[in-house]
Amino acid sequence: MIYPEHIQEEVFKYYKLAGINIEKGIVSSIQAEEIKKFINYKLKVDRNKTRAIKYQRSFEINDELQKIKNKFESPIEEYLYAAFIENGLDKHCRPQFEIGTKRVDFAFPIAKLAVECDGKRYHFTEKSQIEHDQKRDKYLARRGWRVLHIEGLAIRRNIDLCIKKVKENLVPFIIN
């Protein structure tokens, strides 16, 4: 899960800037309240930034996205693919790609990287879905594929972070 890691990194940066001392992972209740306020502020900033990007994109007609729109199983997949197009990653990306008997949301065959969009409702709450995802990941790993899971929250709140993580996994294979 990339978004909680991102927020944790931001909190550690905030600790340093604010001079908050952490001893053995413990902070005072006053500092804990300050940190909660910072996290809520960061979530709000990320959400507003993504809304602005989404609003801007809604005015741009993208023929390529319109052609394959019916391939997506969820709005978060469509939104992530729009970001791939915007960042030039679409030429390497295959939506709803079959790998053996499994299908992934997005594949970058050049890097053997599968990107899965994980919505909270299905991928984090239903035990059977979690087990299914784990089996699929093992199946793909046996075939030499790596799987990057991006939770829907990250896609909705910080699309730039999602693109950054995908690019980090493509660095040895794609030169921008």
Domain edges within the chain: 2-58, 63-170
pLDDT digits (tens, 9 = 90+) for 56-90: 665 454 555 555 656 777 888 988 998 998 888 98
Per-residue pLDDT, 61: 42
What is the pTM (predicted TM-score) of this model? Answer: 0.73
Residue 118 has pLDDT above 70, yes or no: yes
Per-residue pLDDT, 64: 56
Residue 124 has pLDDT above 60, yes or no: no
Question: Beta strand pairing status for 146-151 and 102-108?
Answer: unpaired
CB-based contact 35:17 (threshold 8 Å): no
Per-residue pLDDT, 123: 47
Select the more confidently predicted residue: 124 or 161: 161
Per-residue pLDDT, 15: 79
d(CA 151, CA 133): 13
Select the more confidently predicted residue: 12 or 176: 12
CATH superfamily of 63-170: VSR Endonuclease (3.40.960.10)
Which of 20, 19, 45, 39 is closest to 31 using CA atoms? 20
